[in-house]
Homo-oligomer: A and B are copies of this chain.
Amino acid sequence: MLTPATPATLSDLRAALADDTFRDDTAPYFREPRGRYAGTGIVAAPRDTATVARIVAFCHDRRIGIVPYGGGTGLVGGQVMGGDVPPLVVSLERMTAIRAVYPAESVLIAEGGAILTDVQAAAEGAGRMFALSLASQGSARIGGLLSTNAGGVNVLRYGNARAQCLGLEVVRPDGSIWHGLSRLRKDNTGYDLRDLMIGAEGTLGLITAASLRLVPRPAAVGAAMLAVPSPRAALDLLGLAQDRLGDGISAFELMHRQGLDFLREAGLAFRAPFADQPAWMVLIDVGLTAGQSPDAALEDLFAAASDAGLVTDGVIARSGPDRDAMWHIRETIPEGNRRIGSIVSHDIALPLGQVPDFIAQAGARLSRIGDVRINCFGHLGDGNLHYNVFPAQGQSRDAYAHLRGAIKDCVHDLTHAMGGSVSAEHGIGRAKVGDLVRYGDPAKLAMMRAIKTALDPRGIMNPGAVLPDLTDH
């Protein structure tokens, strides 16, 4: 059983640290974007790794739970812990330094609290690019992005957050520091602890800094919005595009008309790409090297895809603002969804070849559960769909509360049966702990529990996230 974080249990720590280390206004830390979880606790915002280590060592000694806190943008409740035993929330908001940039090595070292857009800007300043990009990049912080192995729109080409990281500095659950800020591209000296910490959602340690891989900036970029007759055609179009442009395809996003209808319904402005709005469309983004023309490449692709019956209409961005307008649609869809109010949202991944069958079968099954609207969109190039279910027009989500579990099970059961994942990029947090137990391979779960117990024997790191709270047993 853990000790509650209270003014009394933390008084020795408070006395030992700078006066303003603790935050009085704690309310913002106890909310999360979807409003499904409420947190509790006391909040500290240390300024350096040594202080983080001191705080963690103190909590280890007293068996006080710790919730690591980045930008607070997580969608599965990993950053908020409720319940009767309040934790100490350790926010990295004051550790935002870019410690070093090595342009010739394409490496940058950032503290865990650095905001993604600031890291992107530092990379640009060095003539390079930091490839992670996602809708919440203006507030998401590097430590949280790595702890959740964030995805986003460039995974197809550059990989997820894990693939952008060369090394970590981590405060372990006992307060010791792992100095692993490697700038190396290759290092086969022992177990891959870096990738174990990445995606562990703060349950195995607290990421205080990271060594990040930068990539060359594409010489020229371009985008096109193409209307496709079906998800199957979208998948074939992806294959065709990769055959022709290889790694040049940076993003390949599927959207359904429902998403654009929601933008209109929610009063969100956008530039309609097609006069006659198709049911399915794809946003393709390309980043090419010197001597290649994105316009020409996209026109050739469109011609070939037309000949193959894979597209029915298309618009190629003729300028930066054109391209921005296309991306604006894609990136505003989550806000549209929020305003309409989903019954339940899913973040699933499927083997690529299963995506069309999944979309067909899931739609048919849900129609038997109730009168719902589905907004299915996402990173088709990665097999990652955001499959969100909404009330029928004019209905409230409350009217569907009794169907929520059935809808979720329907979508997740089908996903699992098709070899998919019930959390493609959002993680487990607190929202999907039950799903992990339900769908996870037993040997995998046994290994996870063994590792958690081995690395955090007192169970103080983000208790109840990812795995059921071990200290309850």
| Interface set of A (CB-CB < 8 Å, partner B) | 102, 104-107, 127, 148-149, 151, 155-156, 159-160, 162-163, 170, 172, 176-180, 182-193, 195-196, 198-200, 204, 215-216, 218-219, 235-236, 239, 242-248, 288-292, 296-297, 349-353, 379, 381-384, 419-428, 432, 435-436, 439-448, 450-451, 453-455, 466
User: Interface residues of A: mostly helix, strand, loop or mixed?
Assistant: mixed
Question: Complex Cα distance A442/B155, Å?
Answer: 34
Contact status A184-B245, CB under 8 Å: no
Contact status B216-A185, CB under 8 Å: no
5 contacts between A and B (CB under 8 A): A176-B442, A184-B420, A188-B426, A189-B423, A247-B289
B residues within 8 A CB of A292? 289, 291-292
Contact status B183-A436, CB under 8 Å: no
Instruction: Report if A351-B446 is in contact (Cβ < 8 Å); known contacts: A163-B163, A189-B440.
Output: no
Contact status A424-B245, CB under 8 Å: no
B residues within 8 A CB of A296? 291
B residues within 8 A CB of A381? 185
Interface centre among A198, A353, A436, by most chain B C-beta atoms within 10 angstroms, is A353
CB distance from A435 to the nearest CB of B (A): 8
Contact status B443-A186, CB under 8 Å: no
B residues within 8 A CB of A450? 454-455
Question: Complex Cα distance A114/B200, Å?
Answer: 32
Contact status B196-A384, CB under 8 Å: no
CB distance from A383 to the nearest CB of B (A): 5
Question: Complex Cα distance A235/B172, Å?
Answer: 36
Question: Complex Cα distance A226/B423, Å?
Answer: 48
CB distance from A449 to the nearest CB of B (A): 9
For A191, give its contact among B176, B215, B246, B451 (CB under 8 Å).
B451
Contact status A190-B440, CB under 8 Å: yes
